[in-house]
Structure 1
Amino acid sequence: MGFGAPSNLKDTPPETVSYEDQALLLLARLMEGGQEDDETCRDLNTLTKLLTDDSSDKNRSPEPHRPIHELVDTDSVETILGYLDMRQSQTVRGHATLTVSAYLKAAGDSGVEDLSEFFYSRVARGTYDDFIVAFSVAASIFPVVPDVISTLFLSEGFIASLRPLMKRKWKSKKVEQACLEMLNAACMHTPCRKAVKKYCLEWLDEIVQYNPTKHDHEEGSIQQRVHSDIVRNLAAVVLAKLQAFLSTPMAGPEERIQPATTTIEELSDLFKVMLTADSDSGRKSSIEGLAYASLQPKVKERLASDQIFLKNLVKALGETPPKSPTTYGALSLLVNLTTYLSTLTEEQKRMTQLKAYANASKSSEKPDPLNDDEYVTKRCQAVFQAGVIPILVTHSQHGSAASLSLVVSIVFSLSKIPKLRGQIAQQGGVKLLLHAFSVLPAEATTAQRTTAHGLARILISTNPSHVFGGSNPLPLISAIRPLLLILADDPTFEHRDNLPVFESLLALTNLASTDDTARNPIIRLAFPQIEELLLSNNKMVIRAAVELICNLMQSPECVAKFADGGKQASHRMHILLALADSEDLATRRAAGGALASLTEWDTAINAILKRDRGVVILLALCKENEEELRHRGVVCILNLLTAPGKEAGEWGVKKVKDEGGVDTLKECLKKSRNQEVLEITVEALKKLLGGQDSSGTLAIGR
């Protein structure tokens, strides 16, 4: 073999063998072959680690040695690439892909030359065996080094030669399969995809539509000429990718490519049948094909309206191991079925119109109505009814970061429907989202925000004690940090999206309705953000922020923010009083509730009495037509009148009288029908008119 490694190295402890000899021994064993798959995978893993460590300044062995990639000669490269052969087990191919990737990274240009030489030489030999290996290598390595393989794929005459090769009278089913695996991988690269459509479309159509009963029996046997199920499935997947990516018109008519004879609807029907097949390859091809076919709105509708299919899909997802391509494909398919179109701001709508005017070829295109919210909502309901949440909960515990991002996208879409939120929580949706938020990498900002937004939606519509209380091990405080994330601007968006902010505030308000174990962390972690949102230019955000303050005001920590006698507290009180005078009824109601709680504290009463319009605003609440607002107003007034300490109480009585309080309260009595409001108003009037003293202060929450 020419490696110079001692023959007895296999039994020598690794720590006694030099770094170079370890690599040479591994290469020798791989070239010798004949091992069990698990032994081959172990050797490939070790070689991958050696190549990876040797390429890193941090992990490189301090022992003087020749670079490991230089020990991988031409024969070794051919051996390692041979483990990518489709006739090898999927496990071996997977480990070999990682080894080749590590080698290409370590060897740089020389590694690319080795790979190119291998590919060209095998194709040039032209035997079935050589074609199978070359195509298998291209299919496996395409995702690793797409620029390198696409150059080989697009080399002059190569793709054009595939069709006549595949249409040979005595063709090999294995060559067909290897070729289609390569085309399948190549379709992820735009220039390669266009070339496939140009040269291979007719052949792919022929495979999918092939029916041996329609062909004569003159030349060869049908058994020899018929396409295998695996080949037919792969051809259908490639066609689906071509349809998904190239079905819309190009910029100019000269670039348009005629569509395939097999329609995307026919392909989706074929994939649905394949999903229930017994073979793993059929299920894998079915899900991969549908993941691309479902990019088309009409296919989404066909799939979502078939409840039997949806249940089969959810069942297949439940039976598929995590971190597998099939799992990722099934999750991608569910994302396609459930995703809503982004809501554009008015400015974004104007920009879209301007772009349409600038491009005459697209100006007549209209958004497909099947992507409208009403259709997406029906699809989401159908997916939910198929029992997807428990399966997603299971997959979220063991999946990759990429799969987890898809999982939370699906839950996020389902959570948009209010009537589903309670059921999502019951089936483990909150636990899923909290787990996802805790394990998603820091750089996955979009996925983290999607997770937090989905959590906010569910917590708006569910009783916190049902989600976090009793025997449930989830601590309520664990939901606060995700919700705070979406109070801040999304750095990836040019225009601020107020919907996540609004829904996060509503969820925090719901949590704050429980007790101080929820309120105090919110106050400590988020009060500056909440305070800033009180001055938002969005009416709904302001309303939600005030409602949150109203519930937080049940905590002494929040009261102190407004009533500690400092300059900031005075400024906050000024803002809260101004909000109690807002044009928006709901904002006035929430601010009035916060003031009703706040005026239980004498320092807050002093702060209100010091302000010129403080009492005026509270009396204005008493004049409202809405009973709830009058209730809040009279509670505030009574609290002013009955403040502890002679000086404060007398000051309150004087200020209320001076601002016409007697007449206001009499008017309130005439308007009110609620017994509690009537009793509070009567007590306040007695205090103003020098009658019976009240027995204490009263307050009302939101």
Structure 2
Amino acid sequence: MASPSKQLDPSVPAPGERAQAESVTIEDQTLLLLASLMEGGQEDEDTCKELNSLTKLLNDDSSEETRSPKPHKPLYELIDADSVDTILGYLDMRQPPTIRGHATLTTSAYLKASGEKGVELLTEFFNARVGKATYDDFIIAFSVAASLFPVVPDVISTLFLREGFIVSLGPLMKRKWKSKKVEQAALEMLNAACMHTQCREAIKKYCAEWLDEIVTDVPPTSADVSSPDKLHQIEHGSIQQRIHSEQVRNLAAVVLAKLQAVPSPPSAGEEERIQPATTSIEELSDMFRTMLSKNTTEQSSIEGLAYASLQPKVKERLASDKPFLKNLIKALGDAPAKSPETYGALSILLNLTTYLPALTEEQKRMSQLKAYANASKSSKPDPLNEDDHVSKRCQDVFEAGIIPILVTHSQHGSTASLMLVVSIVFSLSKTSRIRGQMAQQGAIKLLLHAFSVFPSDNIPARRTTAHALARILISTNPVHVFGGSNPIPMTSSIRPLLLLLDDDPATEQRDLLPVFESLLALTNLASTDDTARNPIIRLGFPRIEELLLSNNKLVTRATVELICNLMQAPGGVTKFADGGKQASHRMHILLALTDSEDFETRRAAGGAIASLTEWDTAVNAILERDRGVTLLLALCKEDQEELRHRGVVCILNMLTAPGKVGEWGIKKVQEEGGVDALKECLKKSRSQEVLEITVEALKRLLGEEKPSPALLEG
């Protein structure tokens, strides 16, 4: 029987293969990839792999950390003008989207590595193609410009704005080139160019008339576009009658929407030269809505609406159109994660729901001064952007079923799209009546996930997320949100809420609304049990303590209410009653707040001290203060029953404290006129509970089993 042959590990090359692999240098690999790409004729998947490999080689060679240690010529120098032509050729709009995407990354890597040399070859390529002025050359040149505008905007904008190019583009398209593909390539280039301010101004100046003609030039009957001869003519060359494809019309509409939605201020003396489009932004938005309802060219309709919905009138029309909102949300639900459709749909929803920022009085005055300086603009914002209109739009968007879709997209989207999602939820959370439903539909889970995903240095994103979370937690029962089968722990929301108590480094003037709403949410959590109270005390007490001295009445009130709930935990009591100097100072502040002008603040401070005085160390701290007992007796004489209730509980706790502390309490209350104060409390009170506590306190104070009727009558 023959012995079994030895099996070679397939992951280890045979000796001959190893020698061959080692002999192929990194330069050879680059040249082989370029040769294969120039030869072409292979499957799309193989082309993408080769482009991807070339991208990696160029990127690795551009960094000292990843560059091959073996001496070699910089790889970008191996890419000559012919190779650049080949790579840029893969950006042709007639290529599959996957190939165009990989070619864009390869071109980006090459331009990054080659610097000025690469810009020079790219410029030569573009100018040569435009100069040849053939059908194919125009398509390729325009396709390259459209693909590379986001990659190297400064370079492409220079080519775009060179003398004579944009000025002649509209007339050229109108008179000579009647091909759908050439027009489409030109429009894709204009669409990308709108991202650049100067390019957008040039398009508005020289191409608006042509764009408007495309949008409004609709054949009167379906027969006009159904003829095979006409379709053939549209595709391949010049025709006598202008008939534009639906895709071309939609692209032109998107460009017009960008021109109108993002207006650029004209230069001095330039106003008369700009040709205004006759198609209004409202008409364009109606066109996009129709496109979306028919599920045709969805990307163009969403992109167009993303710009059109910046206008207040368009916002109102879109939000009030319930079928449109359903279609938009369905499109968002069906769109792949990190796709242009996803980002565009989220942008539309953000535009519909965003409130104007709240301005301080100083900021309002500055805005008015700027408006006066620019007489061409109204000093008042559009009323359709006022809060009541935005609130109605938020309600409409919520009722269309947006939250579950946002929850889904938050799990798989990019950081940029997640910021849009959070911003939409933040706007919706301003409407208090829907907060409970938002929580039921997963908004809290969404926000906690987003907070964990955003980097710690992305303060604006984390603060927006935390603020939305605070608003929802104000209006919901924490037990229902975090209890039962819900796997989200209540403590996961504490760190985001505490972040809002810090100053926002992005603003010069502190906005106290997030602070106030965070305090309310923390108070709600602290009303549950020590599972929530203890981490709030451990992680946030220094910040909470500072806010006791806030100049803002509402912030002070909310802080005292939070502290009142924290006093239910032993850790909270310790902060005021451990016998130390800091604890004594805190007790001093809390006692002073029982004399606040604000009723709710006095009530919360009295409630906190009522809990504290159950501990003899806290009673001792109060007795050590000169006016401690006086302030608590003043609560007993208040006109409001709630305040008297808290006052007599504090006094009774002091009188019944164990040992010498209790004896000192009785003596001090007697000296401060406690009998008269409690008698006044009896006269004013109607609550049986308050009466019983007051009588018990009088018994302790007078050392009697039962106060005499004459004494009670005064």
3-state secondary structure, aligned to 1:295: coil
Match of 1:308 in 2: 323
Per mean C-alpha deviation after superposition, the further-off stretch among 523-532 and 12-21 is: 12-21
Match of 1:348 in 2: 363
Match of 1:493 in 2: 507
Match of 2:521 in 1: 507
3-state secondary structure, aligned to 2:661: helix
Query: What amino acid sits opposite 2:86 in the alignment?
Result: T
Q: Which of residues 694, 697, 706 in structure 2 aligns to 1:684?
A: 697
3-state secondary structure, aligned to 1:300: helix
* 1:242 counterpart = 2:255: no
CA separation in 1, counterparts of 2:374 and 2:600? 45
Residues 1:234 and 1:119: Cα distance change in structure 2 (over 3 Å): same
Query: What amino acid sits opposite 1:345 in the alignment?
Result: T
Match of 1:66 in 2: 73
CA separation in 1, counterparts of 2:580 and 2:85? 78
Q: Which of residues 524, 538, 542 in structure 1 aligns to 2:538?
A: 524
Q: CA deviation at 1:271?
A: 0.2
The Cα offsets for residues 602-641 of structure 1, whole Å up to 9 and x where unpaired, read as 0110000011110111111111222211111111010000
Match of 1:263 in 2: 280
Per mean C-alpha deviation after superposition, the further-off stretch among 613-622 and 297-306 is: 613-622
Q: CA deviation at 1:36?
A: 2.0
CA separation in 1, counterparts of 2:172 and 2:399? 48
Native 8 Å contact 1:687 1:693 kept in 2: no
Residues 1:343 and 1:12: Cα distance change in structure 2 (over 3 Å): farther
Q: CA deviation at 1:375?
A: 0.2
* 1:230 counterpart = 2:247: yes
CA separation in 2, counterparts of 1:412 and 1:659? 52
Match of 1:674 in 2: 687
Per mean C-alpha deviation after superposition, the further-off stretch among 288-297 and 34-43 is: 34-43
CA separation in 1, counterparts of 2:685 and 2:512? 37
* 1:179 counterpart = 2:186: yes
Native 8 Å contact 2:177 2:183 kept in 1: no
CA separation in 2, counterparts of 1:319 and 1:16? 50
Query: What amino acid sits opposite 2:289 in the alignment?
Result: K
Match of 1:544 in 2: 558
Q: CA deviation at 1:335?
A: 0.5
CA separation in 2, counterparts of 1:397 and 1:15? 44
Residues 1:60 and 1:551: Cα distance change in structure 2 (over 3 Å): same
* 1:603 counterpart = 2:617: yes
* 1:23 counterpart = 2:38: no
3-state secondary structure, aligned to 2:380: coil
CA separation in 2, counterparts of 1:18 and 1:42? 19
Residues 1:170 and 1:111: Cα distance change in structure 2 (over 3 Å): closer
CA separation in 1, counterparts of 2:655 and 2:67? 79
* 1:295 counterpart = 2:318: no
CA separation in 1, counterparts of 2:32 and 2:176? 45
RMSD: 2.1
Native 8 Å contact 1:243 1:259 kept in 2: no
Match of 2:420 in 1: 406
The Cα offsets for residues 447-499 of structure 1, whole Å up to 9 and x where unpaired, read as 11100100010111111111111111101111111111111111010110000
* 1:54 counterpart = 2:68: no
CA separation in 2, counterparts of 1:548 and 1:533? 11
Note the 1:613-692 alignment, pairs <5 A: 613-645=627-659, 647-692=660-705
CA separation in 2, counterparts of 1:258 and 1:342? 34
TM-score (norm 2): 0.92
Q: CA deviation at 1:388?
A: 0.4
3-state secondary structure, aligned to 2:501: coil
Residues 1:479 and 1:216: Cα distance change in structure 2 (over 3 Å): closer
Q: CA deviation at 1:240?
A: 0.2
Q: CA deviation at 1:35?
A: 2.3
Query: What amino acid sits opposite 2:380 in the alignment?
Result: K
Residues 1:555 and 1:12: Cα distance change in structure 2 (over 3 Å): farther
Query: What amino acid sits opposite 1:189 in the alignment?
Result: H
Match of 1:467 in 2: 481
Structure 1 residues without counterparts, runs of 5 or longer: 1-8, 695-702
CA separation in 2, counterparts of 1:421 and 1:11? 65
Match of 1:456 in 2: 470
Query: What amino acid sits opposite 2:492 in the alignment?
Result: S
Residues 1:648 and 1:14: Cα distance change in structure 2 (over 3 Å): farther
Native 8 Å contact 1:173 1:227 kept in 2: yes
Query: What amino acid sits opposite 1:231 in the alignment?
Result: V
Match of 2:399 in 1: 385
Residues 1:693 and 1:428: Cα distance change in structure 2 (over 3 Å): farther
Residues 1:112 and 1:469: Cα distance change in structure 2 (over 3 Å): same
The Cα offsets for residues 536-593 of structure 1, whole Å up to 9 and x where unpaired, read as 1111111111111111111111111111111111111111111111111111111111
Match of 2:160 in 1: 153
Equivalent residues, number: 679
The Cα offsets for residues 3-23 of structure 1, whole Å up to 9 and x where unpaired, read as xxxxxx999986763222222
Q: CA deviation at 1:214?
A: 8.6
Native 8 Å contact 1:208 1:235 kept in 2: yes
Q: CA deviation at 1:357?
A: 3.5
CA separation in 2, counterparts of 1:249 and 1:94? 34
CA separation in 2, counterparts of 1:29 and 1:521? 62
Residues 1:447 and 1:14: Cα distance change in structure 2 (over 3 Å): farther
CA separation in 2, counterparts of 1:625 and 1:289? 63
* 1:559 counterpart = 2:576: no
CA separation in 1, counterparts of 2:513 and 2:705? 50
Native 8 Å contact 2:356 2:387 kept in 1: yes
CA separation in 2, counterparts of 1:85 and 1:690? 99
CA separation in 1, counterparts of 2:585 and 2:159? 69
3-state secondary structure, aligned to 2:455: coil
CA separation in 2, counterparts of 1:15 and 1:503? 65
Q: CA deviation at 1:190?
A: 0.7
Match of 1:700 in 2: none
Q: CA deviation at 1:659?
A: 1.6
Query: What amino acid sits opposite 1:349 in the alignment?
Result: K
Match of 1:572 in 2: 586
Q: Which of residues 332, 337, 348 in structure 2 aligns to 1:333?
A: 348
Match of 1:3 in 2: none
Query: What amino acid sits opposite 2:682 in the alignment?
Result: L
TM-score (norm 1): 0.94
Match of 2:216 in 1: 209
Match of 1:5 in 2: none
Q: CA deviation at 1:115?
A: 0.8
Match of 2:86 in 1: 79
CA separation in 2, counterparts of 1:668 and 1:250? 74
CA separation in 2, counterparts of 1:178 and 1:452? 44
Q: Which of residues 446, 451, 454 in structure 1 aligns to 2:460?
A: 446
3-state secondary structure, aligned to 1:449: helix
Query: What amino acid sits opposite 1:321 in the alignment?
Result: P
The Cα offsets for residues 321-345 of structure 1, whole Å up to 9 and x where unpaired, read as 0101111011011100000000011
The Cα offsets for residues 346-404 of structure 1, whole Å up to 9 and x where unpaired, read as 22112222333344444x43210000000000000000001000000000000000000
Q: CA deviation at 1:292?
A: 0.3
3-state secondary structure, aligned to 2:496: helix
Q: Which of residues 380, 389, 396 in structure 2 aligns to 1:375?
A: 389
Q: Which of residues 33, 36, 41 in structure 2 aligns to 1:34?
A: 41
Native 8 Å contact 2:372 2:379 kept in 1: no
